[in-house]
Amino acid sequence: MHSSRPTTRTLLPPWDLHKVLDKLAGPPFEPMHKASLKNLTLKTVFLLAAATARRRSTLHALSVQADHIRWEPHGVRLVPHPSFMAKNQTAEFLPQPMFLADIKYFSSVHEDEVWCPGRAL
């Protein structure tokens, strides 16, 4: 009986990405020049996590020090701290930089720019 009908449990409550993105496109997150630092930080971290699909530890290894954020013509390149090592990484490989392309290269809809992680940075 146990094998034919195993118990199921949800570890996390269900959530809808579209609802979250809709909330990030309005107040108190937009317009960005009126957003508080806390709300701007929350929006930026969420967009970075969603756009890069990286682990929390990798996002934590990002830095604002010189040469860790490189603005390029078509986006931004984020370089993790050199001493960071992911749990599934060997010592021979350095952490790889992440490139976030500007959203205008993916969408022709002007309103989609509110979800651009580079803009939030």
Q: Say if 88 falls within a structural domain.
A: yes
Does residue 5 lie in a domain region? no
pTM equals 0.81
Residue 43 is assigned to a structural domain of this protein: yes
Task: Identify the pLDDT of residue 66.
Answer: 81
Per-residue pLDDT tens digits for 10-63: 778 888 999 999 999 999 999 999 999 999 999 999 999 999 988 888 888 888
Confidence (pLDDT) at 114: 92
Range of the domain at 70: 17-120
Asked if the structure places residue 94 within a domain, the reply is yes
Q: Does residue 11 lie within any of the structural domains?
A: no
In the chain, the number of structural domains is 1
Answer whether residue 8 is part of any domain: no
Q: pLDDT band for 67, please (50, 70, 90 cuts).
A: confident
**E strands, the chain, in order:** 69-72, 75-78, 98-101
For residue 9, being part of any structural domain is answered with no
**What SS3 state is found at 101?**
strand
| Contact in structure between 32 and 120 (CB atoms under 8 Å) | yes
pLDDT at 1 over 60: no
Cα 103 off chain centre by: 13
pLDDT at 2 over 70: no
Domain assignment present for 102: yes
Q: Which tens digits make up the pLDDT trace of 75-114?
A: 999 988 877 877 777 666 767 889 999 998 888 888 889 9
